[in-house]
A and B are shown apart, each in its own frame.
Chain A
């Protein structure tokens, strides 16, 4: 187990190193100078030069790369070119929106997907199954921002149950904060729930045809008992994998939803920073997201090994 973990750790470090180079190169290659973006069309050459020097943009790219990576290793993500505040602080602030939103959405999607998937599997081929599968097909096909707009139309503009967007802040109480994240979380959760429900259903169906299920029935369990006691538990492995992937997706992929609901989250930060060529912010946030995804995968790998002894012995 230790050797396996070490091996995974090494590949994690390598992935991060490669990612840092790719991110830096891709972002720096795109044309656009942060200083001229800030100073606009009437800026004079000497003003631009002064600002570039102030921002530390007047050194070579290689030097900037090593400054950036070196800083990150000791937890210093640099200072935003446009906001002039430490990037780490900006990320921390935005995390308080994006992380709860991702967890909220994931919870909702699991709460919807599990019953739906199990119900459909138990009623395979019957009208109930067809209805659930039809709904999930729809959920996968419709983009989440469309759901978002519909939710706003119904619950914010017509019914006035929620605000159309914005984040009320946690300092006004847990409920106030959760309330302002509810519509975005539902919009994010629906397509994810559709995917998860389908995975749950097909995983269950696979398991139902396994020999041990027949054995379970043979030893006297009812269909329902066998499904719950042996089926669902075994189906959890592929489902957990998908949940892991979805979590990274929700954390990194809520850019559009954060725009639609104007939430001050990580996605919006990246979006603003890209258009302002706030390179250091883009690089650091993307790197952080890569780190999160890789870490989640690492955890999932370890969890597999813990669950399935065959993985350990094979390496």
Chain B
């Protein structure tokens, strides 16, 4: 049997099978693959995105929540009022919400969750989100009053993070292995190293989801990921690790491709305190030496949007500043000569494991050598990267995708690993934090983007794409990733 004929034979079989399927009930289970396994299932005490992918909005819910388009909508809080001065938030909670163990979700649980996050011995990986909270008071079982130390225009946004979900004191002890939340799915089983299964929660306060069961499978090897999809062992791959294989899925009618954007600004992080990068001319030269499109094409096979600053292009407040650092090797050489490095210099380029860094790093090193800069490539594991680059600040250059949403504020932290210390920028961020007027915020955010662009703090490369692959019949998947999440509530099979 020739390959072609085999294909048509197979698709005839598939057609027969799908005809048969329409006779039967619509499929109500799904197997979703992801690359990394969560270490445990408590989103409030770890940074691992894999935890949020499994539990966010499925098992645990917060007072507010992200939608697939990045907007923030009411979650367990039905509505809220904000005082005139912007420091007091009064949340009205939904009535009749219960945890999976049957206990009622009320104002006490909200107070417990927020107090736990802000406590001295809190293990919350994003403690800074809650730093502005002064007190949390229970007004009545369905009303909570949160008082902030100063106005914070981001507060409702912060509460939508997976790190801010509502947990119950009754079930907190075993939350890591037996998570008990309020969501539309309950935790069923975890075969460590293999899969996690969730079941529909019949007592869910909101609309019942179409899915009855969802299984998350962990497949880290890119080749295995391809095989699992092709053999239809899994229905969805949340973020497919091998962009080079995507054309094959695109050409195959059995599959659909969901190319969207993440919150990951992929940057060539530059140690602003280390010579010669403490000289803005050198940083500017670096920016002009880099050809973004070549990196996107070479490392990501064309998937990714070029950025000229540390901001997500899909955000309405984004300003396209790629022109500030347009590819111009001649200008880069001239700038290097002006800075006193006519023959270039040597530096180090630390590359963590993801392919955007390893593949992108090779290309960047080649581009830098065009203008005379010799970058020694050092491949590191994440743990090592955190230790020596992030904490120890022993690096010249490194490539990393900053995946936290709306994280331009990190440029206001002079001790942050790239060590950008600008009083102008810090003042700007302070103004922004106390501004609640949306138009004024947009203007300030634009100003902040311009400032870090023309200060050439880092080499801004591209917005990391989210590359979802799914069987053709799956509907309701998030295309973009405003936060790490696989929202099961909207997923259904095409009938």
Binding site for B on A (CB under 8 A): 30-34, 36-44, 46-47, 50-51, 54, 82-85, 90, 93-94, 149, 152-153, 156-158, 160, 163-167, 169, 259-265, 268-269, 272, 274-277
For the complex formed, measure the closest distance between the CB of B180 and the CB atoms of chain A, giving whole angstroms. 16
Partner of B123, one of A50, A82, A93, A261: A50
Partner of B386, one of A32, A44, A90, A272: A32
- Is B46 a contact of A277 with CB atoms below 8 Å? no
Q: 29 A-B pairs, CB-CB below 8 angstroms? A: A30-B383, A31-B384, A32-B381, A32-B387, A36-B383, A36-B386, A36-B387, A39-B46, A41-B47, A42-B126, A43-B127, A47-B123, A50-B121, A90-B192, A93-B193, A156-B227, A157-B230, A164-B228, A165-B219, A165-B224, A166-B217, A167-B194, A259-B221, A264-B193, A268-B193, A269-B193, A275-B381, A275-B383, A276-B383
Collect the chain B residues with CB atoms within 8 Å of residue A51's CB.
123
Collect the chain A residues with CB atoms within 8 Å of residue B404's CB.
41-42
B48 sits at the interface (CB 8 A): yes
CA distance A276 to B221 in the complex (A): 16
- Is B386 a contact of A262 with CB atoms below 8 Å? no
Which of A51, A90, A166, A272 gathers most chain B CB within 10 Å? Answer: A166
Partner of A39, one of B37, B120, B121, B125: B125
CA distance A129 to B40 in the complex (A): 55
- Is A264 a contact of B227 with CB atoms below 8 Å? no
B27 sits at the interface (CB 8 A): no
For the complex formed, measure the closest distance between the CB of B13 and the CB atoms of chain A, giving whole angstroms. 10
Fill in one digit per residue for B385-406: 1 if any A CB lies within 8 Å of its CB, else 0: 0111011000000000010100
Extra contacts, 18 of them, besides A33-B386, A36-B386, A152-B224 (Cβ < 8 A), are A33-B387, A38-B47, A39-B47, A43-B125, A54-B123, A83-B192, A90-B192, A152-B231, A157-B230, A164-B228, A165-B224, A165-B227, A166-B233, A169-B191, A262-B218, A263-B193, A264-B193, A277-B383
- Is B192 a contact of A264 with CB atoms below 8 Å? yes
For the complex formed, measure the closest distance between the CB of B50 and the CB atoms of chain A, giving whole angstroms. 11
- Is A149 a contact of B194 with CB atoms below 8 Å? no
For the complex formed, measure the closest distance between the CB of A293 and the CB atoms of chain B, giving whole angstroms. 22
Collect the chain A residues with CB atoms within 8 Å of residue B221's CB.
259-260, 262
- Is A164 a contact of B391 with CB atoms below 8 Å? no
Fill in one digit per residue for B226-257: 1 if any A CB lies within 8 Å of its CB, else 0: 01101101000000000000000000000000
CA distance A268 to B220 in the complex (A): 10
CA distance A6 to B412 in the complex (A): 67
Q: Closest B-chain residue to A258, C-beta based?
A: B193
CA distance A43 to B390 in the complex (A): 11
CA distance A165 to B217 in the complex (A): 11
CA distance A272 to B192 in the complex (A): 11
Collect the chain A residues with CB atoms within 8 Å of residue B224's CB.
152, 164-165, 259-262
Partner of B223, one of A41, A54, A260, A272: A260
- Is A262 a contact of B383 with CB atoms below 8 Å? no
- Is B122 a contact of A152 with CB atoms below 8 Å? no
Given known pairs A82-B39, A156-B231, A265-B193, the reply for A32 and B384 (CB within 8 Å) is yes
- Is B39 a contact of A165 with CB atoms below 8 Å? no
Collect the chain B residues with CB atoms within 8 Å of residue A167's CB.
194
B490 sits at the interface (CB 8 A): no
Fill in one digit per residue for B192-230: 1 if any A CB lies within 8 Å of its CB, else 0: 111100000000000000000000011111011001101
Collect the chain A residues with CB atoms within 8 Å of residue B233's CB.
156, 163-166
For the complex formed, measure the closest distance between the CB of A253 and the CB atoms of chain B, giving whole angstroms. 16
B6 sits at the interface (CB 8 A): yes
Q: Which 10 A-B pairs have the closest CB atoms?
A: A40-B47, A32-B383, A264-B193, A82-B39, A164-B227, A164-B231, A264-B194, A277-B383, A39-B125, A31-B387
CA distance A167 to B121 in the complex (A): 39
A-B contacts, CB under 8 A, total? 150
For the complex formed, measure the closest distance between the CB of A222 and the CB atoms of chain B, giving whole angstroms. 47
Collect the chain B residues with CB atoms within 8 Å of residue A153's CB.
227
B176 sits at the interface (CB 8 A): yes
Collect the chain A residues with CB atoms within 8 Å of residue B475's CB.
none
Q: Closest A-chain residue to B381, C-beta based?
A: A275
Interface residues on B, range: 35 or more
Partner of A84, one of B40, B194, B228: B40
- Is A163 a contact of B231 with CB atoms below 8 Å? yes
- Is B6 a contact of A33 with CB atoms below 8 Å? no
- Is A39 a contact of B123 with CB atoms below 8 Å? yes
Collect the chain A residues with CB atoms within 8 Å of residue B125's CB.
38-40, 42-43, 47
- Is A33 a contact of B383 with CB atoms below 8 Å? yes
Collect the chain A residues with CB atoms within 8 Å of residue B192's CB.
83, 85, 90, 93, 264
Collect the chain A residues with CB atoms within 8 Å of residue B391's CB.
33, 36
B112 sits at the interface (CB 8 A): no
CA distance A263 to B177 in the complex (A): 21
For the complex formed, measure the closest distance between the CB of B300 and the CB atoms of chain A, giving whole angstroms. 22
Q: Closest A-chain residue to B13, C-beta based?
A: A160
Collect the chain A residues with CB atoms within 8 Å of residue B177's CB.
84-85
Given known pairs A31-B387, A149-B223, A275-B383, the reply for A94 and B193 (CB within 8 Å) is yes
CA distance A51 to B40 in the complex (A): 14
B345 sits at the interface (CB 8 A): no
- Is B123 a contact of A84 with CB atoms below 8 Å? no
- Is B123 a contact of A275 with CB atoms below 8 Å? no
Q: Closest B-chain residue to A38, C-beta based?
A: B46
Partner of B40, one of A31, A46, A83: A83
Q: Closest B-chain residue to A31, C-beta based?
A: B387
CA distance A38 to B43 in the complex (A): 11
CA distance A50 to B218 in the complex (A): 30
CA distance A152 to B124 in the complex (A): 42
Collect the chain B residues with CB atoms within 8 Å of residue A41's CB.
47, 386, 390, 402, 404
CA distance A265 to B194 in the complex (A): 9
For the complex formed, measure the closest distance between the CB of A41 and the CB atoms of chain B, giving whole angstroms. 6
For the complex formed, measure the closest distance between the CB of A235 and the CB atoms of chain B, giving whole angstroms. 39
Collect the chain A residues with CB atoms within 8 Å of residue B402's CB.
41
- Is B382 a contact of A47 with CB atoms below 8 Å? no
For the complex formed, measure the closest distance between the CB of B260 and the CB atoms of chain A, giving whole angstroms. 23
For the complex formed, measure the closest distance between the CB of A47 and the CB atoms of chain B, giving whole angstroms. 5
- Is A262 a contact of B217 with CB atoms below 8 Å? yes
CA distance A289 to B42 in the complex (A): 31
- Is A259 a contact of B220 with CB atoms below 8 Å? yes
Collect the chain A residues with CB atoms within 8 Å of residue B353's CB.
275
Which of A34, A43, A167 gathers most chain B CB within 10 Å? Answer: A43
Collect the chain A residues with CB atoms within 8 Å of residue B127's CB.
42-44, 47
CA distance A262 to B35 in the complex (A): 10
CA distance A227 to B381 in the complex (A): 55
CA distance A280 to B352 in the complex (A): 23
CA distance A84 to B381 in the complex (A): 22
B378 sits at the interface (CB 8 A): no
Collect the chain A residues with CB atoms within 8 Å of residue B126's CB.
42
Partner of B39, one of A38, A54, A90, A265: A38
- Is A152 a contact of B47 with CB atoms below 8 Å? no
Q: Closest A-chain residue to B163, C-beta based?
A: A42
B26 sits at the interface (CB 8 A): no
For the complex formed, measure the closest distance between the CB of B65 and the CB atoms of chain A, giving whole angstroms. 20
Which of A33, A54, A82 gathers most chain B CB within 10 Å? Answer: A82
CA distance A261 to B218 in the complex (A): 11
CA distance A287 to B91 in the complex (A): 53
CA distance A261 to B227 in the complex (A): 9
